[in-house]
């Protein structure tokens, strides 16, 4: 399995609260192990931690004092998702075969130039404006064999897939 993390650049607490929450939940559901962002927002931490408690797994959230340093020191491969990049399909094999853990960077609005500079790949999920949530989900679904079919241990709730209704059960704890 590919080990990957996500870095959210440029989060603005009020404006981006819900989009960043969706980025974080998408990162978790599609198999990333951790999301980092600058000046962590406690409401996002609460929401994402609550999902982890209910549905399991050990997805991490990390607050960074200096995202640029974090990127510079990353020992692995850095993939910046941007509508200005080159097609993911052109580089997918290279990315999958690249060394070390993958760091996916997703920005809010305009990212600083160093993000392009320090990234090994500047990758587009199409060159139209859409959503960093969409871009991340497509990228992670292509990188990981499990894609959105991840399993998470230790949660309290489990969805029973249904064509008719919402159906969740409490998971039994072994004692």
The sign one gets for the Cα dihedral 81, 82, 83, 87 is negative
Structure tokens at 119: 């990234």
The packing angle between helices 132-143 and 13-29, to 10°, is 20
- Asked if residue 121 binds a copy of itself (CB under 8 A), the reply is yes
CA distance 123 to 121: 6
- Interface segment toward a copy of itself; rule CB under 8 A; list 20-28, 35-43, 61-69, 96-104: 20-28
Contact call for residue 85 and a copy of itself (CB under 8 A): yes
Nearest to 35 by CA among 61, 53, 13, 16: 61
Contact with a copy of itself (CB under 8 A) among 16, 40, 103, 144:
16
Closest approach of a copy of itself to the CB of residue 127, in Å: 4
Q: Do β-strands 102-107 and 77-87 pair in parallel, antiparallel, or remain unpaired?
A: parallel
Cβ at position 147, least distance to a copy of itself in Å: 8
- What gap in Å lies between CA 106 and CA 131, rounded to an integer? 10
* List 42, 93, 97, 128, residue binding a copy of itself (CB under 8 A): 128
Closer residue to a copy of itself in complex, CB, 40/124: 124
Q: 1 with 144: CB under 8 angstroms?
A: yes
Would you say 89 and 121 are in contact if contact means Cβ atoms under 8 Å apart?
A: no
Looking only at the bridges linking them, the beta strands covering 77-87 and 60-64 are unpaired
Q: Is 114 in the site for a copy of itself (CB under 8 A)?
A: no
Q: Find the part of the chain contacting a copy of itself (CB under 8 A) among 2-10, 22-30, 62-70, 94-102.
A: 22-30
Between 69 and 127, name the residue whose CB sits nearer to a copy of itself. Answer: 127
Where on the chain is the footprint of a copy of itself (CB under 8 A)? 15-16, 18-19, 22-23, 25-26, 28-30, 51, 55, 82-87, 110, 113, 116, 121-122, 124-131, 133-138, 141, 147-150, 152, 158-159, 161-168
């Amino acid at each position: 399995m590919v080990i990957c993390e996500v870095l959210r650049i440029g989060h603005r607490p009020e404006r981006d609260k819900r989009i960043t929450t969706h980025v974080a939940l998408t990162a978790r559901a599609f198999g990333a192990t951790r999301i980092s962002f600058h000046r962590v927002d406690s409401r996002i931490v609460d929401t994402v931690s609550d999902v982890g408690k209910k549905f399991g797994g050990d997805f991490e959230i990390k607050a960074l004092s200096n995202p640029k340093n974090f990127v510079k020191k990353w020992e692995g491969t850095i993939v910046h998702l941007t509508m200005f990049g080159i097609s993911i399909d052109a580089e997918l094999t290279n990315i999958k075969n690249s060394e070390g853990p993958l760091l996916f960077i997703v920005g809010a609005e305009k990212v600083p130039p160093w993000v392009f500079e320090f990234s090994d790949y500047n990758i587009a999920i199409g060159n139209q404006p859409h959503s960093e949530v969409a871009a991340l989900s497509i990228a992670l679904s292509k990188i990981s064999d499990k894609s959105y079919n991840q399993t998470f241990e230790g949660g309290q709730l489990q969805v029973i897939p249904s064509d008719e209704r919402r159906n969740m059960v409490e998971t039994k704890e072994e004692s």
